[in-house]
Chains A and B, each alone.
Chain A
Amino acid sequence: MTAPTAEVGLVLPPLTVRLTRTDLVRYAGASGDFNPIHHSDHAAATLGLPGVVAHGMLTMGVALRVVTEWAGPGAHVLSYGARFTRPVVVPDDGIGAELQVEGSVTSVEGTTVTVAISAVSAGEKVLGAARAVVELAAPA
């Protein structure tokens, strides 16, 4: 597989991911984060949330795929950060929530590329100032 090349302004292939309650339970088990607001309507309501919400780390982890799937297996993420600006509410309706992820390159220094990531669910930005810095595989 050829390593990708990047220039400032490059828009990465977007990603649309559907999250259901089952996905939240799967992530809880895989991550060890059993905060009940991610599976219990009662706990979510107690905290004033409109319903069960996705783990911020699930949203963040899924959103990073827009970078890692573009960068390919030889690349390494050097840093990744985001603010959790709005919760991703995941209704128990058999449909769940849709997360739309986009990425665009904001800086390139050699093989080190910074990507600004946008993640939107139900028309709202759910991640703020999401940025990943990735070291691309050196060209062969």
Chain B
Amino acid sequence: MSIPPESWAGREYAPTAPYEVTLGKIAEFTAALGHPAHDSPPQEAPPTFGAVVANPAWDALFTDRELDLRLDHIVHGDQRFTFQRPLRAGDVVTATLRIDKVRARAGAEIISSAVTVHDAAGEPVLTADATFVHTR
């Protein structure tokens, strides 16, 4: 790797391409969590749908060539969501990731990251804080 892990903190990636939350995707995700079927399709996404909109931001981190990470060596350590409001069908959102802290251990890096999600009006929708453990 070209950059020592201790200096990764503070790295911020460009906002992800705008992502449109659709009824179909909400229905697909809701079914994947095993939610009981409703009479009418849900307009609001389940809270952990936040991971779907955070995913491209996480990918920006995982594929950062300067960090030399391997996707199949990354484990999700913890996750916390804070919601300003629920995600709804029709929302067009972007996600921006910042590395908050990195602890380097023998053969592993523990990466604390924060993804902020904004709607098309620039209003905050949610924050997804995650810790990832990357083993070498």
A residues engaging B (CB < 8 A)?
A: 17, 23, 26-27, 29-33, 35-37, 43, 46-47, 55-58, 60-62, 64-65, 68-69, 76-84, 128
B residues engaging A (CB < 8 A)?
A: 25, 28-29, 31-36, 46-48, 51-52, 55-56, 71-83, 85-86, 129, 135
Q: Given known contacts A30-B31, A36-B72, is B79 in contact with A79 (CB within 8 Å)?
A: no
Known contacts A32-B55, A81-B129; 4 additional CB pairs below 8 A are: A23-B34, A30-B25, A33-B51, A80-B48
Report whether over half of chain B's contact residues are helix, strand or loop; otherwise say mixed: mixed
A27 to B36, CA, bound (A): 16
Closest A residue, CB atoms, query B56: A32
Contacts of B86 in A (CB 8 A): 76-77
What are 28 sample pairs from A and B whose C-beta atoms fall under 8 A apart? A27-B32, A27-B33, A29-B32, A30-B28, A30-B52, A31-B55, A32-B52, A33-B51, A35-B72, A35-B74, A36-B72, A47-B75, A47-B135, A57-B48, A57-B79, A58-B33, A61-B33, A62-B33, A69-B36, A76-B83, A77-B47, A77-B81, A79-B81, A80-B80, A80-B81, A81-B78, A84-B77, A84-B78
Verify A31–B80 contact, CB threshold 8 A: no
Question: In angstroms, how far is the closest chain B Cβ from the Cβ of A120?
Answer: 17
Closest B residue, CB atoms, query A36: B72
Partner of B33, one of A37, A65, A76: A65
A84 to B77, CA, bound (A): 5
Q: Given known contacts A31-B55, A68-B46, A79-B80, is B31 in contact with A26 (CB within 8 Å)?
A: yes
Question: In angstroms, how far is the closest chain B Cβ from the Cβ of A51?
Answer: 14
Verify A46–B83 contact, CB threshold 8 A: no
Report whether over half of chain A's contact residues are helix, strand or loop; otherwise say mixed: helix
Verify A78–B83 contact, CB threshold 8 A: yes
Closest B residue, CB atoms, query A15: B34
Question: In angstroms, how far is the closest chain A Cβ from the Cβ of B72?
Answer: 5
A62 to B34, CA, bound (A): 7
Q: Which 10 A-B pairs have the closest CB atoms?
A: A81-B80, A30-B32, A61-B48, A83-B78, A56-B76, A77-B47, A27-B32, A61-B33, A30-B29, A57-B51
Verify A33–B32 contact, CB threshold 8 A: no
Verify B32–A26 contact, CB threshold 8 A: yes
Question: In angstroms, how far is the closest chain A Cβ from the Cβ of B41?
Answer: 13
Verify B78–A61 contact, CB threshold 8 A: no
Verify B78–A33 contact, CB threshold 8 A: no
A68 to B34, CA, bound (A): 13
Contacts of A37 in B (CB 8 A): 72, 75
